[in-house]
Amino acid sequence: MRWTPGGESSDIEDRRDDSGGEGFGGGGGGFGFGGVHLGIGGTILLIILSLIFRHNLFTMFSGSGDVPVNTTRTARPSADANEIPNEQKEVQLVSFVLDDVQNTWAKLLPEQAHIPYRHAKLVLFRNSTRSACGQAQLATGPFYCPADEKVYLDLGFYEELKTRFGAPGEFAQAYVLAHEIGHHVQKLLGIETKVRRLQQLHPEEVNPLSVRLELQADCFAGIWANTTKERKIIDETDISQGLNAAASVGDDRLQKMATGHVSPENFTHGTSASRMKWFRAGLDSGDLSACKTFAH
């Protein structure tokens, strides 16, 4: 990616010095499918726990309702940002991506949907912090909370994405953030609210509807990528990183890693192929009309 390190975005709420001592317990509870959407990091968490406990934990999300997720993982000690290698550079990259994604939607959403864009906030935390959707944890990974319109991110997630799931590179990190802001765009368009209502009315459709919602967020991330390609911020190598990141968190790949087999009825995000397909759809078109995942 071609970007210039700078200051911290005004849309970032930095809690890294406040959240280190809270650990992983606490009254927020786990993230259930009936509350906040199960983000990329949450899916990865299920893989790790499934491997540890030798049990397919994806079956926990075959229906609606809040399902607590606990982990015995050790929390990182609180530290100044400068004490964690490369974290300050990551903050600058996240700041650049956050501002660029939101400035892009501030232009595109009125043009394409005749709806004004309202900026989301990005909460950076370390180990654990509270959100309006419950407790945010390092092991849960990044997610968007529609109740407070904030994305929650522990930068330690990016190391997991690179080392455990083979998705390195700056644009892989950018894709994750653009995907979560995509959920914010869905909230502004009214899509997120409609989907949650349908999930409550039709519990048997909870997972299929979630897949469509997640694939659309991938497509929205691709729309932003389209604008960065036009502005020469990314090249084909970066696009490959984004597609690789999308593929690395496909339900089929993650389930096979965890259990050795694939259970389509438990999909919540879509297959690797479908995630790449919809990211590419947004990338190639740059238009909301290309992201009709609910029409397929």
What are 40-70's pLDDT values in tens digits?
555 555 555 444 444 444 444 443 333 333 3
Q: What is the pTM of this model?
A: 0.79
Neighbours of 191 (CB within 10 A): 19
Residue 200 burial (10 A CB sphere; 0-12, 13-18, 19+):
exposed
Most confident of 49-63, 106-120, 246-260: 106-120
- The β-bridge partners of 246 are none
Strands 12-14 and 121-124: parallel
Residues 6+ apart with CB under 8 A from 165: 44, 248, 249
- Please report how the helices 87-113 and 206-230 are oriented relative to each other, as an axis angle in degrees rounded to 10: 100
Backbone angles phi, psi at 171, to 5 degrees: -75, -25
> How large is the angle between the packed helices 170-189 and 156-163, nearest 10 degrees?
120
Q: How far apart are CA 46 and CA 52, in angstroms?
A: 10
Rounded Cα gap, residues 128 and 26, in angstroms: 9
Q: Pull the structure tokens for residue 31.
A: 């993230």
User: Percentage of the chain with pLDDT > 90?
Assistant: 47
Helices (H) and strands (E) in the chain, counts: 9, 6
Q: 19-23, 154-158, 248-252, 264-268 — which is least confidently predicted?
A: 19-23
Over the stretch 76-101, which tens digit does the pLDDT of each residue have?
Answer: 444 454 445 568 888 999 999 999 99
Q: Cα 138 vs. chain centroid, distance in angstroms?
A: 13
The encoded tokens of residue 246 equal 């999308």
Question: Of 139, 151, 158, nearest to 24 (Cα)?
Answer: 139
